[in-house]
Amino acid sequence: MGESIAIRAFVGDEEVSREQVRAWEKRRAEVVLTKLAARLGSRAFAELAPGNHLDDLLGAPLDAQRSALTSIKTHLGHAGVYAMLKRDLEISDRMARTGVALSRGRTKHCVARLEVPGYSAERFAAWFTDLTVTNAETDMVDACPDHYLLRGLPDGRQEVVETTGGSPLAARFLVDYDRTEALTIPLDPRYPQQIAGQALLDDGLVIGGVRHQFLDHRGTMEALLTVQFPASLPARFIRQHRWHLAVEFSNWIIAAAPAASAS
């Protein structure tokens, strides 16, 4: 991914530099590389990342780390990801159910904003929606080190296996973009492009959701990115997930350049 696109990022109410966003991504890349090496063992890691040693990858530039992570996860396959994260997913499922019960319908919102000159909100929203429709797994996983598996399902929903915010555990959930009735994230009528859906577990329990909103203003695309969590989620996780949003959408914006440019 190139870095020639000017992206202005706001994590919560604070404007942050592109260097800060990349630094957060690099820290997470190193955490995930170390986790993969520990979970897989040296023999499996060498098989999945031929010619790469963990110590070398930890000292490599971010783009090389990103490429290695995506390659390892892709070669693991869905079953390999499930197996490697089996314990994480079991615990995080129970924690999600407990969090929803303790929250009693109350929610918290995690917000990041991006501004991108020369981009079309309509074209970017269409490109992003198409990731799920066409099941572009590599583009979805590549956007953040904490993505383990993202894919579009035959019923139109999206399956997500990722580490949310500052959690030590990966979680698995589904996003249903055809349902929004449980969302407490306000719809802002100023934003004509809306990508919204409920996050749920396999049995239909709603654990959160997303509402990502986009508009064009004076030649600049403005993205209002919001994730809904149960109110019982610790504030630290909310703060860290703002950075997650800034990282993944910045990288998606860069990847979308050929399709999303307003020119």
Q: Where are the beta strands (DSSP E) in 164-205?
A: 170-176, 193-200
Q: Is residue 183 part of a domain?
A: yes
Q: Is residue 71 part of a domain?
A: no
Which CATH number characterizes residue 239's domain?
A: 3.30.530.20
Q: Is residue 122 part of a domain?
A: yes
- Domain hosting residue 163, numbered range: 8-19+87-260
Q: Is residue 230 part of a domain?
A: yes
Compute and round to an integer the Cα radius of gyration of the chain. Answer: 18
Q: What is the pLDDT of residues 89-145, one digit of tens each?
A: 999 999 999 999 999 999 999 999 999 999 999 999 999 999 999 999 999 999 999
Q: 262 falls in which pLDDT band (50, 70, 90)?
A: confident
Q: Is residue 152 part of a domain?
A: yes
Q: Is residue 160 part of a domain?
A: yes
Check residue 3 and give its pLDDT: 65
Answer yes or no: is pLDDT of 160 > 80: yes
Average pLDDT over residues 228-254: 97
Give the chain's domain count.
Answer: 1
Check residue 1 and give its pLDDT: 42
Q: Is residue 77 part of a domain?
A: no
Q: Is residue 234 part of a domain?
A: yes
Q: What is the pLDDT of residues 18-39, one digit of tens each?
A: 999 999 999 999 999 999 999 9
Average pLDDT, the chain: 95
**Residue 24 and residue 19: Cα distance in Å, rounded?**
9
Using alpha carbons, list the distances in angstroms from residue 150 to 81, 134, 137, 162, 218: 11, 12, 6, 8, 33
Answer yes or no: is pLDDT of 191 > 50: yes
pTM: 0.96
